[in-house]
Amino acid sequence: TAVGEESAQRVVVSLRGLQKRFKRASGEWTAAVDGVSLDIHSGELVVLLGSSGCGKTTTLRCIAGLEQPTGGEVVAGGRVVSSSAGIVVPPEKRNFGMMFQSYAVWPHMSVFGNVAYPLKARKISKAQIEQRVGAVLDLVGIGHLRDEYPSQLSGGQQQRVALARCLVADPQVILFDEPLSNVDAKVREDLRAEILAMKTRIGFGGVYVTHDQEEALAIADRIAIMDAGRIVQIGTPREIYGRPNSLFVANFVGTINRLKGTVTITERGRVVVSTLLGDVVVTGDGIVERLIAGQDVWVVIRPEAIRLGDEALALENTWRGRIDQETFTGASGHVRVAVGDQSLRVRTDGGRQFDTGGDLAVGVAADRVRLLLPHDSDGAVR
């Protein structure tokens, strides 16, 4: 029931029309955050994803209480903690864990001292601190480093210390600002898995800022795509990837082939779009309701939706193409196929080899094609 769902999905942080304007050196005001509304539920990790300067960090700093909004409000624990009137509850009283790229561990304190610090401020008994810190260090796999100093640790180990320090106070909400951007790829993957495991085990939720789309897809319960201070789409990773609501989102998350097209036929659940490839048949729920014949659209096809050779023949959309280029990357392959004047990116499984210059069938199923309406921010179709 709705009531049951509500109690299971308690809102822990709520942003209501959050706005943050800064005065530039020129004296002009710009909105870094421009009306963001968002509910974060208990145990839910929401990733803010967007390119540099879109307002992710400023949003997070407003939630943390490090920045005072110029409009709207931040609600936590059932009350307004920040609004344009002021920071009502200071950062240290919000009981949010924070793991920031710039929140380095303290060099003059041992690993134990770093992790114990948040508990000392809470005046918990020494024995309890010993026990709790020991348990958390073991949990994040650095129990053996408890007496080391941060300067003796690798970047990845230091971030484990930061994670442990964050978890020790058992926060319900953790704010992450690109916590993995300073560690190398392999360690990044390990730590990402660690954070996910901790989340399942401990049940915290929160907000995670990144500009790395792969990281966002891997770690998020929901992704909020930001552009110019606003959320342009919010949804589960699968929704964002599979049903982007604009070319901007489709392009930002994953790779796409995009073609200009004009709708020529609309039938129930089926549309035909004329493109440089020829006619493209598209099927899907609700597709006709949004489109009329003569309308300009973007045709969007993910590289992994395209089939080559015999597999392509049975699909609704099949063309003849020529292999222009093949790049082998191990588990998968990336192929460029020319269909007429159009070049398509195709993702293949790495086991198959394609010869450059070879002629073959290229196909895509009608339900794997997305149509997007031209959007102001995307530029006109023509």
- Give the footprint of ligand ATP on residues 215-274 (CB under 6 A): none
Shortest Cβ distance from residue 39 to ligand ATP (Å)?
20
What token pair was written down for 279? 């006619």
Q: Cβ(31)–Cβ(87) under 8 Å?
A: no
Residues ≥6 apart with Cβ < 8 Å to 14:
38, 39, 40, 74, 75, 76
Which range touches ligand ATP (CB under 6 A), out of 52-60, 214-222, 255-263, 360-368?
52-60
The residue from 22, 29, 106, 328 that contacts ligand ATP (CB under 6 A) is 22
Which range touches ligand ATP (CB under 6 A), out of 55-63, 239-247, 282-290, 358-366?
55-63
Beta bridge partners of residue 176, listed in sequence order: 99, 208
Q: Cβ(191)–Cβ(208) under 8 Å?
A: no
The residue from 6, 29, 37, 53 that contacts ligand ATP (CB under 6 A) is 53
Shortest Cβ distance from residue 54 to ligand ATP (Å)?
4
Shortest Cβ distance from residue 65 to ligand ATP (Å)?
15
Shortest Cβ distance from residue 381 to ligand ATP (Å)?
28
The span from the CA of 96 to the CA of 82, in Å, is 14
Which range touches ligand ATP (CB under 6 A), out of 54-62, 199-207, 315-323, 356-364?
54-62
Strand (E) or helix (H) holding 73: strand 71-76
By beta-carbon proximity to ligand ATP, the closer residue of 159 and 257 is 159
Q: Cβ(76)–Cβ(11) under 8 Å?
A: no
Which range touches ligand ATP (CB under 6 A), out of 46-54, 111-119, 296-304, 327-335?
46-54
249: region left, alpha or beta (phi > 0 left; psi from -120 to 50 alpha): alpha
C-alpha distance from residue 213 to each of 93, 220, 241 (Å): 32, 10, 10
How many C-beta neighbours within 10 Å does residue 284 have?
Answer: 16
Q: Cβ(46)–Cβ(207) under 8 Å?
A: yes
What token pair was written down for 37? 């509304």
Shortest Cβ distance from residue 104 to ligand ATP (Å)?
17
By beta-carbon proximity to ligand ATP, the closer residue of 177 and 326 is 177
By beta-carbon proximity to ligand ATP, the closer residue of 57 and 114 is 57
The residue from 15, 19, 47, 57 that contacts ligand ATP (CB under 6 A) is 57
The residue from 41, 56, 94, 222 that contacts ligand ATP (CB under 6 A) is 56
Shortest Cβ distance from residue 264 to ligand ATP (Å)?
41
Shortest Cβ distance from residue 55 to ligand ATP (Å)?
4
Q: Considering the rule CB under 6 A, would residue 26 count as an interface residue with ligand ATP?
A: no
The residue from 132, 160, 211, 368 that contacts ligand ATP (CB under 6 A) is 211
How many C-beta neighbours within 10 Å does residue 108 have?
Answer: 9
By beta-carbon proximity to ligand ATP, the closer residue of 14 and 58 is 58
- Give the footprint of ligand ATP on residues 58-97 (CB under 6 A): 58
DSSP string, 319-363: EEEEEEEEEE-SSEEEEEEEETTEEEEEEEETT----TT-EEEEE
Residues of the shown chain interacting with ligand ATP in the complex, contacts defined by CB under 6 A: 22, 32, 50, 52-58, 211
